[in-house]
Amino acid sequence: MLFSKFIDFYALNDLHKDRSEEYQFRIDSAHIPVNVDREMFYKVPTPLSNVELNMTSRENDYSIGDFEFKSLMPSGDEFNDFVKGEVYLNKAESKPNVIFVHGWRMKAFDRVKKIFHHSIMNNLGWNMYYYTLPYHLERQPKQSLYSGEFMVSANINRTVESTRQAIIDLRAFIQWIKSNKQGPVVIVGVSLGGFISNLVATLEPEIDALVSVFYSNRLSYSIWNTIPGKYIRQDLEHHGMNYNDLVRYWKITEPNQELPRINKDNILLISAKHDQYVHIQDADLLWESWEKPTRYVYNCGHAGIVLKRKKIAKDTISFLQNKLKR
């Protein structure tokens, strides 16, 4: 336990080398979605008319390249409003389609790839899509100091809207894959990507299976009670924000507020008992609210994303093979 916490604290110290130099706090109370219809708030306004696939190389049975489409929920930033990612397509038409959703502040897909990529590519041949969250990687605005700075911050409205953008665009992408590919669609989210994947699972019935790894649940809880959120909390408190109001303003983003729209038997949750990024109490809340789907709790911290990646890959792939029967 002490080793797991030490590793997490060391990583957190490194994480906070990059932080906002200016206060991000902003609130427009008249436009905070409190007591709104959740289905309408996250509704896909129109199907994706075009997903551009730019295939640049081949490896074994795979065509490899990038995908891109214009966000259906534009933020007004030229970089953020194009959804981009990497794609690996098998020549076989009926292979499962796995969408990977990365974590907060990730600078590349490498950490996720190191868990799953080679096992899937070399042994299973499933299609893989690496989905970029708002304000991350190539979607990072020029004025942003680090990847993901503007997705979760003390800007109350923008945090909600970036979550909404992520959900609507991901739902639209799932629906596009369903319409254009033959195989089932699987979502695999890691950390903040787990939070987004869990939230989309409460809204989108076209998902065939979900795996959520070291997922966060309530943004308000994470910002107020965990070390990764401490500078955002300082920003909020400096401007007079209290925890109860933050909970109310960000409630619309909580996955635990609704049951998933997919078969509970096709959900795998993976948590870390000593996680200093995502407290186990908050992870427990989602599991219990969702009526206890299959769950593994590892004896590690959030750094298990690196230290336990072979186990994560083995458990995830075994679960999915059993559910997909392919």
Q: What averages of pLDDT result for each successive group of 10 residues across the chain (326 residues)? A: 54 58 91 94 95 96 97 97 97 95 92 95 96 97 94 98 98 97 96 97 98 97 93 97 98 98 97 94 98 97 92 98 84
CB of 62 closer than 8 Å to CB of 88:
yes
Name the residue among 122, 178, 179 with its Cα closest to residue 317. Answer: 122
**What does pTM read for this prediction?**
0.94
Residue matched to tokens 């590349």:
108
pLDDT of residue 227: 87
> Could you tell me if 295 and 270 are in contact, meaning their C-beta atoms sit under 8 angstroms apart?
yes
Question: 3-state class of 259 per DSSP?
Answer: coil
Residue 22: the pLDDT is 85
Rounded to whole angstroms, how far apart are CA atoms 299 and 296? 10
- Tokens standing for residue 269: 């949750």
Record the tokens describing residue 229, joined without a space: 């959120």
Tokens encoding 180: 């254009």
| pLDDT given for residue 92 in this prediction | 92
User: Which pLDDT score is estimated for 126?
Assistant: 97
Distance CA(246)–CA(236), nearest Å, equals 9
Query: Which pLDDT value is given to residue 8?
Result: 52
Question: What pLDDT score does 14 carry?
Answer: 55
Supply the pLDDT for residue 2.
52
What does the pLDDT read at residue 17? Answer: 58
